Chains A and B, each alone.
Chain A
Amino acid sequence: MTTEEATTARARPEPIKAVPVRHPGRWIAVAVLAVLTAMFVHLLVTNKAFNWSFMVDKMFRPPIIEGLLRGTVLMTVSAMLIGVTLGVVIAVMRLSDNPILRGVAWLYTWFFRAVPRLVLLAVFGNIGILWSRVEFGVPFDTQLGQLFGIDNLQLRLFGFSSRDILTGFMAGLLGLALSEAAYMAEIVRAGIQSVDPGQTEAAQALGLSRGQLLRRVVLPQAMRVIIPPTGNETIAMLKDTSLLLYVPVSVELFFQLDAVGKRTFQIFPMYVAACLWYLFLTSILLVGQYFLERHFGKGYGTSGRARMRLRGMTAEAGGSAGVVK
């Protein structure tokens, strides 16, 4: 008590006016970087190999825009949709009590993560060699027919020619989506396992079924852990659509730019154009990821704490705090 009174009674000392610590290193770094930047800009402007006017002229041509919209954007969206959905299924299988489902899920992730995506796409581009037609119906129908003495029994509902669905876009989509599902399964599994087991118990104690507690309690909380790496996966997927060159998928951004480059012998400018397009598209995704993360962070971490701080401040100011409506 006495010390407190003493400090308040004494006059406030003068504010500190000290000489700040100098940072000469920072100035040197600025100077070095300024020189390097100047050199880079000089290169961009003066080097004829860039052939800027040619590049700008070609990079907005209709086939390239179509490749961008279908082969890159649509492919990324479709592959991620299938990949995430299948990934959730595989993750849930992986965490299931059923040892067979667990084993199958493990085998799936093992295979698709062990084979490089480029190789996988090349395989899927040629997978049509296995069947001339893809048909849906009763499996082993001819064999079953033979068992009962019926020759060439066909129990098929519908089918497609392999040339129609196991080439180009569909083969590429299949390759990317299946491979993505394996990575997503691991991400989703980590997310589900990150949720406090007490949450599951509380939901069980209330009488929620397994499906309900997964859907309403565990997955929404797992989202916080799942979203950031999924954003990265989406960005990686967008870039990996350039691998479709090896399926091959012709209606695709990099295929088209590469083709223009090879046809005109202006390969380097078209590769720079590819860099610029991918930079542009990825930047858009980064913005989207920011908003998604903010949405799923509700009730946690910084935003929650910021709100708490705000309440604390109004309380100190004598306002009626705590009336959160």
Chain B
Amino acid sequence: MPTQATAPTAGSDLMVRAEQVHKSFGPLEVLKGIDLEVRAGEVCCLLGPSGSGKSTFLRCINHLEKIDAGRIWVDGDLIGYRERGGKLHEMRDREVAAQRRAIGMVFQRFNLFPHMTVLGNVTEAPLLLRQEKKAQARERAAELLERVGLGDKLGAYPGQLSGGQQQRVAIARALAMRPKLMLFDEPTSALDPELVGEVLDTMKDLARDGMTMIVVTHEIGFAREVGDHLVFMDGGVVVEQGDPREVIAAPKHERTQAFLAKVL
């Protein structure tokens, strides 16, 4: 499925731009000034040991976490704030929600709505927010589910599906909002090893179709094969970044070397 044609923003094809992002939880500073640029159609993989702040950074991009300093733009729009007369104004819940509609997110623990069928999970947001007609939303949901290989599970409840199936439903649910950016927060970490492949295949498929994706992952193979850009984070800073194949084959920084030596 082609990604939505993104309006060319003034002089760049950047989908995400982060500048000096800082975030603390109480006394603990989790992000210590993250800079990141992701071009439209690019797959950016965030790698790093646990506690390095990669998930937190991902959650800042759709404003699930409020940042303490810095700026994040998605498709040219400043996230969570409006700049007026040199002053930042907090956005209302409603406006933040509207910004999130263009950003799909897939969680480590799937977070499907257990009281709705698979079809209900995928059609819920389009029906509520895009005011799509019921028949149209159902048709599109069925298409998306067919695409992730679950065309025969429309009436099932999430509790009846395997982890891999649930995660693929979660991907279809995010895609139903026709996002221009997809965030993946360790999408395969909660899965049994034999179920990881089916989710990664779905994601590869999505990447091939030109979706802009930011993926927090421990799957080095995926980063090498699908990633256009790899960012290695540790201790709340970006330690090293570049072409995934180069970084993985010949990491320059010693912390990257140490990490890759452990996971490869």
Q: Which residues of A contact B (CB under 8 A)?
A: 196, 198-199, 201-210, 212, 216-217, 220-221, 298-300, 304-305, 307-308, 311, 322-325
Contacts and interface: CB of A to CB of B under 8 A. Distances in A.
Interface string B118-153: 000000110011000000000000000000000011
A267 B229 CA distance: 87
Contacts of B62: 205
A80 B152 CA distance: 43
B149 to A, nearest CB: 12
B113 interface: yes
A131 to B, nearest CB: 41
Closest 3 CB pairs of A and B: A207-B101, A202-B111, A299-B157
Contacts of B113: 199, 202-203, 217, 221
A207 B97 contact: yes
A210 B93 contact: yes
23 contacts: A198-B109, A201-B107, A202-B105, A204-B64, A204-B100, A205-B62, A205-B103, A205-B104, A206-B124, A206-B129, A207-B125, A207-B177, A208-B129, A221-B115, A298-B115, A299-B115, A299-B117, A300-B114, A304-B159, A307-B160, A322-B152, A324-B152, A324-B160
Given A204-B100, A205-B100, A308-B160, A221 B114 contact: yes
From B100, B152, B156, residue with most partner A Cβ within 10 Å: B156
Nearest to A223: B115
A322 B153 contact: yes
B158 to A, nearest CB: 7
Interface in B153-168: 153-160
B125 A299 contact: no
B91 interface: no
Given A216-B128, A217-B113, A322-B152, A209 B160 contact: no
A10 B158 CA distance: 44
Given A304-B159, A322-B152, A212 B115 contact: no
Q: How large is the interface on B (under 10, 10 to 19, 20 to 34, 35 or more residues)?
A: 35 or more
Interface of B: 62, 64, 93-94, 97-101, 103-105, 107, 109, 111-117, 124-125, 128-129, 152-160, 170, 173-174, 177
From A206, A305, A308, A325, residue with most partner B Cβ within 10 Å: A206
B177 A206 contact: yes
Contacts of B156: 324
Given A199-B113, A202-B107, A209-B93, A304 B101 contact: no
A138 to B, nearest CB: 32
A221 B101 CA distance: 23
Nearest to B100: A207
Given A196-B111, A221-B115, A324-B160, A205 B64 contact: yes
A217 B158 CA distance: 14
B132 to A, nearest CB: 14
A304 B157 contact: yes
Given A205-B100, A299-B159, 10 more contacts: A198-B109, A201-B64, A202-B107, A204-B97, A206-B125, A206-B129, A209-B94, A299-B116, A299-B158, A322-B152
A325 B155 contact: yes
B111 A199 contact: yes
A202 B158 CA distance: 14
A196 B107 CA distance: 13
A288 B155 CA distance: 27
B176 to A, nearest CB: 9
Contacts of A307: 160
A311 B156 CA distance: 11
Contacts of B99: 207
Contacts of A300: 114-115, 159
A230 to B, nearest CB: 17
Contacts of B111: 196, 198-199, 201-202
A166 B98 CA distance: 48
A198 B113 CA distance: 10
Contacts of A201: 64, 107, 111
Contact of B107 (A198, A207, A220): A198
A212 B128 contact: yes
Nearest to A297: B115
Contacts of B97: 204, 207-209
Contacts of B116: 299
A208 B93 contact: no
B163 to A, nearest CB: 14
A210 B64 CA distance: 13
Contact of A206 (B115, B155, B173): B173
From B105, B114, B155, residue with most partner A Cβ within 10 Å: B114
Nearest to B93: A210
